[in-house]
Amino acid sequence: MAELARPDVVEVGARRGSLVDEAYAALKQAIRDTDFPPGYQGSEQEIAVRLGMSRTPVHEAIIRLQEDGLVRVLSKRGVLICPLAPQDIREIYEVVIAVESMAAELLAGLPEATRATAADELEAATAAMDATLAQGDLPGWAEADELFHRLLVEHCGNGRLRRIAQTVTDQAHRARMLTLKLRATPTGSAQAHRTIIAALRAGDAAEAHRSARGHRVAARDEIVPLIEHIGLRQL
């Protein structure tokens, strides 16, 4: 007869899982914000102290982040925050282009009510982009822009695409933030988003795919040459 799990064991396991999730989220955000910059190398204990957390959940979070490609565990030498070369950024954008164009195509093929709900959320994120850009708040604009792209994939109905998108988005975040103030004012992004939204509302899968792909190709063709032009070997 199978042994029933004791409530205290379940509670301890749930609490441990929650702590790991918190450590994972905190360390990932610190990497995205370059509090731990590319090329940083330190021990698990040092990272745990800087995060104000205990070492055990941080250790498990680091294992997950290594699977995401954000860190690398070095035998007897601690943890390395993975730097990205311009070629890495180009490859990441190629994955983003493929994933988001397919996500838009899939979303356009869903029932009308589902598409309408998604389109309303995407429009709200785009409106937030307009508002923050009008205020000269580029970090706020970037946050709203990232929300749009996350929602696009989250609503497409394909969990595997969502997981792939999250990994490459985290990897590309540093490049986007680094070049944000070096690029031309992103006045065209909101209109590109509304073209995608219109295709989704109409249920036009081919146009949704085309417009989502074109939007991300344009971003790649602006950001990657800029990184190469300013001579960054890694970021």
Residue 9 has pLDDT above 90, yes or no: no
CATH number, domain 86-229: 1.20.120.530
Q: What is the pLDDT of residues 176-205, one digit of tens each?
A: 777 777 777 888 999 999 999 999 999 999
Q: Which of 99, 64, 224 is nearest to 169 (CA)?
A: 99
In this structure, are residues 165 and 99 in contact, taking their beta carbons and an 8 Å threshold? yes
Q: Give the pLDDT confidence score for residue 233 in this predicted structure.
A: 66
Q: What is the pLDDT of residue 119?
A: 98
Model-level pTM? Answer: 0.76
155 vs 172: which has the higher pLDDT: 155
- Res. 57 pLDDT band, cuts 50 70 90: very high
Tokens found for residue 78 = 């601690």
Options 1.10.10.10, 3.30.465.10, 3.40.50.360, 3.40.50.10800; CATH for 7-81 is 1.10.10.10
Please tell me the predicted confidence (pLDDT) of residue 168.
84
Mean pLDDT, the chain, whole residue set: 87
Residue 115 has pLDDT above 70, yes or no: yes
The confidence score (pLDDT) of residue 77 equals 86
Please check whether the two domains, 7-81 and 86-229, share a CATH topology: no
Residue at 31: amino acid letter: I
Domain boundary assignment for the chain: 7-81, 86-229
